[in-house]
Chains A and B, each alone.
Chain A
Amino acid sequence: MLIAPQMAVVLIFFFWPASQALYQSVLSQDAFGTSTEFVGMENFNRLIADDTYLASFKTTAVFSALVAVCGLSIALLLAVMADRVIKGSSVYKTLLIWPYAVAPVVAGVLWLFMFASPFGVISYLLQAMGIQWNHLLNSTHAMALIVAAAVWKQISYNFLFFLAGLQSIPKSLIEAAAIDGATPWRRFWTIVFPLLSPTTFFLLVINVVYAFFETFGIVDAVTQGGPGKDTAILVYKVYYDGFKALDMGGSAAQSVVLMTIVVVLTVIQFRFVEKKVQY
């Protein structure tokens, strides 16, 4: 059968682990894995009662909101400008898309380098302006740094989608508005932006998913969840608890929670895409 290879891979590396996660999330295991016992919902109850987990939830929410909002608005600005420019637009495009190819960890390292003291260029500039930059101690600074790195890497992706969306808007609509005397500013907010809303919404979901999962490398490279636990996003915590603190049950329970979040996000996305948010 032609479908056999895919089914095999999907079953072994997808359904088996997923059910394992469900199964483990109701077990408790000691550090060496010698004894396990069934504990029912205890892992989940522990999670809910765990302040650091709730804090991590909040961190993740703040982080992904910041990444999505900053990333989308900068990319939209650039895309609108690139849509306007005729000469050299492909040059700009090429120059703007390459960060997509950069691995999150590498992006993290690059930004870390700019802000590292004492030789970092940006931290020096900030110091000259009177801001004492220290992302190792100041959690606001640490958060700003990982947001900047995450946004930087994601801009090219958002940019491409916005540009594609802008180019699919019929020119006649905009021309009609121009003839009626609408200024470019007004045209953007009353015509272009509403027509872009499917793209914007799609990108919003994608960016949140990106901030949730793919930014692990950035966090690991830049802050390792610190200072304290102030930038430990959920995925980082799953990794840390499971592989550093060896709390497999707790980690599996967190995996289950994460899976639920992703499924909810996807369902939201599909429902709205079907409805075509437009006006």
Chain B
Amino acid sequence: MIERRPGLNLLAHVVLILGVAVIAFPLYLTFVASTQSSQQIAQSTPMSLLPGGHMMETYRLALFGGETTAGSKIPAALPMMWVSLVSALIIAIGKIVISLLSAFAIVYFRFPMKNVVFWMIFVTLMLPVEVRISPTYEVVSNLGMLNSYAGLTVPLIASATATFLFRQFFLTVPDELVEAARMDGAGPMRFFKDVLLPLSKTSIAALFVIQFIYGWNQYLWPLLVTTNENMYPVVMGIKRLIAGESYTEWNVVMATAILAMLPPALVVILMQKWFVKGLVDTEK
């Protein structure tokens, strides 16, 4: 602290608390709504701001599906969460593996057309999947990958952020290490496995967090490639709950929203250190 200004410090705390409150308010409201019955929500103006007593029923309904008292059918969220989890993991792990390998090749080997390859990967940085949805959709359907994990995940792996992060990192690994490994008779793959991988542990963890969230939160792409209810990720399930013609059961919607937010939020908070590092590093 440069000087004592108790007034300013107080102001800082007040602003931060206000900020946290505004940011957290939607979450609180969601939680409250998920503990009330749908009649309680729909019939009061405005809804009550205190938790109601229907938490267990609502979550059971949201997780396992079933029929509500109002007669609308609720699809189970549990299988959808499984789909989300599997595809988020495939995206995160797939991306890390692929880009570790190619960054390794780009940094440590000399091969023909290296620059072309580098630029081809570099270009993909620029175009998010949303831009090329319709043509990518056609490619995926031509390959018969609709309604499968492959269709859900592989096109999303095709981006270069991770490759670049690893490339930057590998470039900072001192040459002495490479030489030492060679002197000790380690081949390139041995060097990769025993030297590079352990060194890049933190980068891998950081990327994992970012990519997991990215994968979990995908919406537009699953919306296109899945037509089979067994393959809907949970984020899409929520949208379908409010889009129906019938009466919207807000308590179930909100319970599902909480369920859908929980895994990525936990990942962010528990792995906060790596998450922040990964975020700040990937974009620089």
What is the interface of chain A, defined by CB distance below 8 A to chain B?
Answer: 1-3, 5-7, 9-18, 20-21, 24, 74, 77-78, 81-82, 84-86, 88, 92-107, 109-114, 116, 118-121, 123-125, 152, 155-157, 160-161, 164, 171, 174-175, 178, 184, 202, 206, 209, 213-214, 216-217, 220-221, 235, 238-239, 242-243, 248, 251-252, 255, 258-259, 262-263, 266
- Complex CA–CA separation, A15 to B275 (angstroms): 31
Asked if B23 contacts A18 (CB within 8 A), the reply is no
A209 — nearest CB in chain B belongs to which residue? B128
Contact A15/B217 with A21-B135, A242-B134 known, Cβ cut-off 8 Å:
no
Query: In this assembly, does B86 line the interface, its C-beta being within 8 Å of a C-beta of chain A?
Result: no
Nearest Cβ in chain B — how far from A101, in angstroms? 4
- Complex CA–CA separation, A49 to B213 (angstroms): 40
Asked if B16 contacts A85 (CB within 8 A), the reply is yes
- Chain A residues near B11 (CB-CB < 8 A): 81
Query: In this assembly, does B46 line the interface, its C-beta being within 8 Å of a C-beta of chain A?
Result: yes
Contact A110/B242 with A9-B98, A9-B158 known, Cβ cut-off 8 Å:
no
Partner of A109, one of B45, B154, B242: B242
Asked if A262 contacts B268 (CB within 8 A), the reply is no
Asked if B126 contacts A263 (CB within 8 A), the reply is yes
Query: In this assembly, does B224 line the interface, its C-beta being within 8 Å of a C-beta of chain A?
Result: yes
Q: Which of A5, A6, A101, A206 has the most CB of B within 10 A?
A: A6
A93 — nearest CB in chain B belongs to which residue? B272
- Chain A residues near B179 (CB-CB < 8 A): none
- Complex CA–CA separation, A220 to B29 (angstroms): 21
Asked if B26 contacts A216 (CB within 8 A), the reply is no
4 new A-B contacts, CB < 8 A, other than A2-B101, A2-B109, A213-B128, are A18-B132, A78-B15, A102-B261, A161-B279
What is the interface of chain B, defined by CB distance below 8 A to chain A?
Answer: 1-3, 5, 8-9, 11-13, 15-16, 19-20, 23-27, 29-30, 33, 41-47, 49, 97-99, 101-102, 104-106, 109, 111, 117, 120-121, 123-128, 130-140, 143, 154-155, 157-158, 160, 163, 213, 216-220, 223-224, 235-236, 238-239, 242, 250, 253-254, 257, 260-261, 264-265, 267-269, 272, 275-276, 279-280, 283
| Residue contacts A-B, CB under 8 angstroms, 9 given | A6-B121, A95-B24, A96-B23, A101-B213, A113-B26, A160-B276, A202-B283, A235-B130, A262-B128
Asked if B117 contacts A7 (CB within 8 A), the reply is yes
- Complex CA–CA separation, A152 to B27 (angstroms): 11
Partner of B264, one of A96, A101, A119, A239: A101
Nearest Cβ in chain B — how far from A55, in angstroms? 20
- Chain A residues near B265 (CB-CB < 8 A): 98, 101-102
Asked if A220 contacts B219 (CB within 8 A), the reply is yes
Asked if B23 contacts A99 (CB within 8 A), the reply is yes
B84 — nearest CB in chain A belongs to which residue? A103
A254 — nearest CB in chain B belongs to which residue? B134
- Chain A residues near B260 (CB-CB < 8 A): 103, 106
Contact A216/B130 with A3-B101, A17-B139, A95-B24 known, Cβ cut-off 8 Å:
yes
Contact A21/B220 with A10-B121, A101-B261 known, Cβ cut-off 8 Å:
no
- Complex CA–CA separation, A171 to B238 (angstroms): 47
Nearest Cβ in chain B — how far from A86, in angstroms? 7
Asked if A98 contacts B47 (CB within 8 A), the reply is no
Asked if B23 contacts A101 (CB within 8 A), the reply is no
B123 — nearest CB in chain A belongs to which residue? A14
Asked if A109 contacts B133 (CB within 8 A), the reply is no
A187 — nearest CB in chain B belongs to which residue? B2
Q: Which 7 pairs of residues, A with B, have the shortest CB-CB distance?
A: A124-B46, A103-B217, A17-B135, A101-B264, A6-B102, A20-B135, A2-B105
- Chain B residues near A101 (CB-CB < 8 A): 213, 217, 261, 264-265, 267-268
- Chain A residues near B24 (CB-CB < 8 A): 95
Contact A5/B98 with A13-B154, A119-B41 known, Cβ cut-off 8 Å:
yes
- Chain B residues near A243 (CB-CB < 8 A): 134, 137, 224
Asked if B219 contacts A105 (CB within 8 A), the reply is yes
B235 — nearest CB in chain A belongs to which residue? A103
- Chain B residues near A174 (CB-CB < 8 A): 2
Asked if B44 contacts A84 (CB within 8 A), the reply is no
- Chain A residues near B133 (CB-CB < 8 A): 238-239, 242, 255
B32 — nearest CB in chain A belongs to which residue? A121
- Chain A residues near B218 (CB-CB < 8 A): 103
- Complex CA–CA separation, A267 to B218 (angstroms): 26
Contact A109/B269 with A77-B15, A184-B8, A202-B283 known, Cβ cut-off 8 Å:
no
- Chain B residues near A84 (CB-CB < 8 A): 8-9, 12
Contact A259/B105 with A17-B139, A175-B2 known, Cβ cut-off 8 Å:
no
Partner of A17, one of B120, B138, B213, B238: B138
A107 — nearest CB in chain B belongs to which residue? B26
Asked if B29 contacts A18 (CB within 8 A), the reply is no
- Chain A residues near B261 (CB-CB < 8 A): 101-103, 106
Partner of B134, one of A16, A103, A238, A266: A238
- Chain A residues near B104 (CB-CB < 8 A): 2
